[in-house]
Structure 1
Amino acid sequence: MFVLTALVLPVLCGAGLAMDAHSYRRTDPVTGQQLLCDKCPPGTRMRAHCTISRQTECAPCGAGLYTEFWNYIAYCLRCDACSDHQRVVQPCNGTVNTVCECEAGFFWDQHFCRRHSACKPGHGVKAPGTPHRDTVCELCADGHYANIMQTHAACVTHSACKADEQLVLPGSRWHDNVCATCDHPIQKGTSSKK
């Protein structure tokens, strides 16, 4: 059993070259020999492949460039720039790309930042928009309204008239109850004071 394992294991491991996340296999162009080369660490790129006589040569990424993972790529990657209506959450450095997020009032929609939706009259905000999600609106229930002057307001309960007031106009889904006293009658949408 031991002899069989000893014969099969080198074949399964690429003739004895055990590869991990920090290495890669390469055939030496001069000798034709299978080599196990070290990858370059994050923040660097491969300047030259390893050979039978030398390790992999790595070079640091320059300004505005990065590599996030162990690699054997010839060129570092260019850092992303934030687009319209985005702000930098984390600037690019040698090992991490720029992280951008939509500005307040906008959310990411596949390829760009879009302004949060305004709720229609009679609808209030169920969940406010975030940089990753649009505003979620809901129809105001009976006895509730959303102020039509504020397109990002939640539905609230109609106000109750005070003891000395009378209900002049019942509230709807888009406006509150309108109350008045005999001392301050309503004229053209505003109360007149004596």
Structure 2
Amino acid sequence: MCSVLGCDIMVSALFVFGYAAVFIVPVLSCRPNEYKTNDGQCCPMCNEGRVVQRDYTAYSGTRCRFCDLGTFMNQPNGLSTCFPCTSCDTGHGLFVKRDCTATTDTVCDVLNGYHCKDLIDSNGCSLTEKHSQCAAGQRIKEPGTSRSDTVCEDCQPGFFSKDGVNCTAWKV
């Protein structure tokens, strides 16, 4: 069944004993700003920050509701639930850089002593790792940052490091 909104045609072929039977089946195609319901109807989408409370009917438009606290929707949609906001776990080296709103997810950043292992665009991080510790006999060549791990290097001959921080010359 095609609505006033339009339809595409799907062609299906069935091959039986070398003969082809062709079936033409209309397929409902919604516009870019619409979503398809379970019963195949096209309804106007809800805006960012909202989700569908009730589908479009002949008597009323799509009824949308705001996302609950702790959830968000960052795109026009035909969904019935908002996405849960990301939690920034300080126990895993993350802190809240920007709070979640009805239209944007939480942005997490990295605590001191950690570096990001999974960068989300240029703003946030979803997975961290503690900075590596240099071993005895090594020194810190480059300290760790929020975006890179510590770089260690071996002490030169005639130098030592028992704490893995700086190399010290042997006393003669």
TM-score bracket relative to the smaller structure: 0.5 to 0.7
Which deviations, in whole Å up to 9, do the C-alpha atoms of 1:46-105 show, x marking residues without a partner? 111112333211111132221122222222233222211321111111111111122011
What's the counterpart of residue 151 of structure 2?
Answer: 136
**Two-structure CA RMSD over aligned residues (Å):** 3.3
Which deviations, in whole Å up to 9, do the C-alpha atoms of 1:128-183 show, x marking residues without a partner? 3233432222334568x6865563x5xxxxxxxxxxxxxxxxxxxx313659xxxx
Asked if 1:26 is matched to 2:20, the reply is: no
**Does the Cα contact within 8 Å between 1:35 and 1:52 map onto a contact in 2?**
no
Name structure 1 gaps, 5 residues minimum: 1-8, 29-33, 154-173, 180-194
Aligned residue for 1:11, secondary structure, equals: strand
**Does the Cα contact within 8 Å between 1:123 and 1:146 map onto a contact in 2?**
yes
**Percent identity among equivalent residues?**
25
- Alignment coverage as a number of residue pairs: 143
Asked if 1:90 is matched to 2:98, the reply is: yes
Aligned pair in 2 of structure 1 residues 146, 60: CA closer, same or farther (>3 Å)? farther
- CA distance in 1: counterparts of 2:149 and 2:115, whole angstroms: 6
- CA distance in 2: counterparts of 1:58 and 1:64, whole angstroms: 18
What's the counterpart of residue 176 of structure 1?
Answer: 169
Which deviations, in whole Å up to 9, do the C-alpha atoms of 1:104-140 show, x marking residues without a partner? 1113457864321111233233443233432222334
Matches within 5 A, 1:5-154: 10-12=7-9, 17-20=29-32, 22-26=33-37, 28=39, 34-83=40-89, 84=91, 85-108=93-116, 113-141=128-156, 148-149=162-163, 151=165
TM-score normalised to the size of structure 1?
A: 0.58
- CA distance in 2: counterparts of 1:64 and 1:116, whole angstroms: 31
Aligned residue for 1:95, secondary structure, equals: coil
Q: Which has the larger radius of gyration?
A: 1
**Does the Cα contact within 8 Å between 2:110 and 2:128 map onto a contact in 1?**
yes
Name structure 2 gaps, 5 residues minimum: 1-5, 11-25, 119-125
**Does the Cα contact within 8 Å between 1:87 and 1:103 map onto a contact in 2?**
yes
- Bigger strand fraction: 2
Q: Which has the higher contact order (CA 8 A, sep 6+)?
A: 2
